[in-house]
Structure 1
Amino acid sequence: MNDVGLLYVGAVLLVNGLMLLGTVPARSAAVLNLLVGALQCVTPTVLIIQAGADPDAILGASGLYLFGFTYLYVGVANLAGLEPAGIGWFSLFVAGAALVYAGLSFWRSGDPVFGVIWLAWALLWTLFFLVLGLGRAGLTRFTGWVTVLLSQPTCTLPAFLALTGGYRTGAAEALAAAAAAVLLVGAAAYLARDRPAVPGPVRPTALVKEN
């Protein structure tokens, strides 16, 4: 169920990245945010109920709420025309939590590839905080490209690999994932360089999930 949810998180991140780039209208993106946000809240609830008293299973499901709440927040805010500051500051909380989950993936779960993915999400949600929470409109285009470029390799690709039994994790795979993430962030900076965002009020948009 985690992997199924992660698959659709790749879709919503792609759409939210395009929203930040001005390609997809905010109200149009709201529906997908609400659907995926609901999925990312129902899924961990079911997993936690099924986990009984297993703390590792509960921990594994807990991170999904971070992203489920994010997408629900974005969907409601976009439909209601709310100011984005609340989403931005919640994104700061998500970014901090993502760093903790990254550490747990590296040193407790023995899954360094997902540790790298959590670090990529921490960066992404930090950018959401800067753009939506602090109103750094000049970073909007860069954040949009980072979201688009990271959406598939951090969500869709690992989800498909896990669902088909092809997911592998280890030091070599983690190094390759980290190198790919750095290259994609660099590509985002290159794509954003010629057309800086026009200063003005930043509308809600956004965002992870996780596993």
Structure 2
Amino acid sequence: MSNVGLLYVGAVLFINGLMLIGKVPGKSGALMNLFVGGMQSIFPTIIIAQANEDPAVIFGASGLYLFAFTYLYVGINQLYDLPGDGLGWFSLFVAVCAVVFGTVLAIQFQDPVTAVMWFLWAVLWFLFFLVLGLHMDNLTITTGWFTLIVAHISATIPALLLLTGSFKSTVPNALWMAVAGLLALVFALAMGRRAAINKSAEPQVPAPQAG
């Protein structure tokens, strides 16, 4: 069930990345966030209800709410044109929790690939915090491109592998994912810098003179 949810996390992150780089209007992307946020709220609730108090199952499902509430928050913000400060600071909370989840998965559960997925999400949600919580607008394009790429590295591709029974959580695969994530960040930073240079090169319209 969580594997199905992961596939649609890839979809909603892809849409959100397009929103951040200005290719999809906010209200147009809001519905996907509400759909996936609702689904990600229902799935872990069912998993936990059927977990028979198994700590490992409950631990794995509990983290899904972090993303569910993020997407619901984004959807509502976009529909009602609300300020993003609260979402930004919530994203910092998610980023810190993601580091904890990744560390526990790597050390206690010996699941290196899923751990790297969580670490990538920690970086991504920290970027959301910088853009929305601290109003670092110069990182918006960078964050958008990183979101676009990490959507597939950390969600779409792993979900498809899980659904087809081809997923293998090995250290080499985790290293490949980490390298791909690092390259995605470098590319996103380059795209952000390029956008900033292009913006600075645009002719400035002089302000009208009074009187």
Normalising to structure 2: TM-score of the pair?
A: 0.92
Partner of 2:118 in structure 1? 118
Partner of 2:78 in structure 1? 78
Q: Which ranges of 4 or more aligned residues in structure 1 deviate by more than 6 Å?
A: none
Could you tell me how far 1:168 is from its partner in structure 2?
A: 0.7
Residues 1:160 and 2:160 aligned together: yes
Could you tell me how far 1:101 is from its partner in structure 2?
A: 0.4
**Paired AA for residue 174 in structure 1:** A
Could you tell me how far 1:197 is from its partner in structure 2?
A: 9.4
Return the alpha-carbon distance in structure 2 between the equivalents of residues 93 and 49 of structure 1.
Answer: 25
Partner of 1:4 in structure 2? 4
Q: What are the Cα deviations for residues 69-118 of structure 1, in whole angstroms up to 9, with x where unaligned?
A: 00001101110111000000000000000000000110111110111111
Instruction: Extract unaligned runs of 5+ from structure 2.
Output: 200-211
Return the alpha-carbon distance in structure 2 between the equivalents of residues 27 and 197 of structure 1.
Answer: 28
Could you tell me how far 1:192 is from its partner in structure 2?
A: 2.0
Q: Would the alpha carbon gap of residues 197 and 80 (structure 1) be closer, same or farther in structure 2, given more than 3 Å must change?
A: farther
Partner of 1:209 in structure 2? none
**Paired AA for residue 35 in structure 2:** L
**8 Å Cα contact 1:140-1:197 kept in structure 2:** no
Partner of 2:106 in structure 1? 106
- The secondary structure found in structure 1 opposite 2:194 is coil
Could you tell me how far 1:196 is from its partner in structure 2?
A: 2.2
Greater RCO, CA 8 A, separation 6+: 1
Partner of 1:45 in structure 2? 45
**Paired AA for residue 130 in structure 2:** L
Return the alpha-carbon distance in structure 2 between the equivalents of residues 41 and 9 of structure 1.
Answer: 12
Find the structure with the greater CA-based Rg: 2
Identity within the alignment, %: 50
- The secondary structure found in structure 2 opposite 1:79 is helix
Could you tell me how far 1:198 is from its partner in structure 2?
A: 10
Residues 1:144 and 2:151 aligned together: no
Partner of 1:59 in structure 2? 59
Return the alpha-carbon distance in structure 1 between the equivalents of residues 60 and 119 of structure 2.
Answer: 16
Partner of 1:185 in structure 2? 185
**8 Å Cα contact 2:17-2:146 kept in structure 1:** yes
Q: Would the alpha carbon gap of residues 57 and 94 (structure 1) be closer, same or farther in structure 2, given more than 3 Å must change?
A: same
Q: Would the alpha carbon gap of residues 198 and 136 (structure 1) be closer, same or farther in structure 2, given more than 3 Å must change?
A: farther
Return the alpha-carbon distance in structure 2 between the equivalents of residues 51 and 7 of structure 1.
Answer: 22
**Paired AA for residue 75 in structure 1:** G
Q: Would the alpha carbon gap of residues 129 and 197 (structure 1) be closer, same or farther in structure 2, given more than 3 Å must change?
A: farther
Return the alpha-carbon distance in structure 1 between the equivalents of residues 9 and 178 of structure 2.
Answer: 20
- The secondary structure found in structure 2 opposite 1:193 is helix
**Paired AA for residue 161 in structure 1:** L
Question: CA RMSD of the aligned region, Å?
Answer: 1.4
**Paired AA for residue 160 in structure 2:** F
